Structure 1
Amino acid sequence: MIDFALDRARSGRYGHAARHLADCAAADTEIENYGPHPRHADYLNSLRQAHHRKTAFWQRVRAE
């Protein structure tokens, strides 16, 4: 959902995506083995690199 909103620049979905990202951060402490998936910190860094110009999204992330 986060990738969908950001990859397609669905700014109306940024609030939902920011909440999903906050949920992921909260779940991160409970996950012991990510398997083939990136750790939360790595995923967050990849989002920051790929979508650094989407300030409306990052403002909502900071507000969450």
Structure 2
Amino acid sequence: MPIRRKAMDAGIFDSAELALLGRVFAQMKTPSQSAESQSRLASRIIANYMAGVVDEAELVLLSKQPLGR
């Protein structure tokens, strides 16, 4: 699962945080998404979480939008 791999690479999340990130990713991914698209989605979820969005529903909502640069 791309979200778990990205989160573990960062090395800063505990098991409860990984479970939350995994649930959000599972809600948002689609079977037709490419691996690259899923990787971008995982990055958005992690970035939003690290920015302080810890509510699951809000994390889903915000992670649907591209990251602001």
Tell me the TM-score normalised to structure 1 length: 0.33
Higher RCO (CA-CA < 8 Å; seq separation 6+): 1
